[in-house]
Amino acid sequence: MCQTWKASIPNVRSFQATLCGGSAARISDSIVPGPLNYGSFYSLYFRPAVIAALPAHLHSLRFHDLRHTYASLLVKQGAHAKEMAELLGHASVQITLDRYSHVMPV
């Protein structure tokens, strides 16, 4: 997955290096007991990677923001609403249209 990131996105190289070669690589070696839940993943890996790789004005980036970015990129690439609904795990196309119609072309 790490190799598929596009280098043309600003700061993605340092973010990718941090996630793929730095803190995210330690997930499997983690001493966190049991499954890695959202709280431990966010505080141990995601948040430090964001702070290390992104400028200060983007330090408030939330993990869920990546989902919206993904959906917006799908729209930009011309994905059909039905395809987007499936990729995003929405129960119906209507949910996708309600949430992302403001970024879809008319």
Confidence band (pLDDT; 50, 70, 90) for 12?
A: low
What 3-state DSSP class applies to 60?
coil
Do residues 53 and 70 make contact, with C-beta atoms less than 8 angstroms apart? no
* pTM summary value: 0.59
State both tokens at 10.
């600003």
- Residue 74 confidence (pLDDT) above 90: yes
- Over residues 24-67, the pLDDT tens digits come to 444 444 455 566 677 888 888 899 999 999 999 999 999 889 99
Banded pLDDT at 3 (limits 50, 70, 90): very low
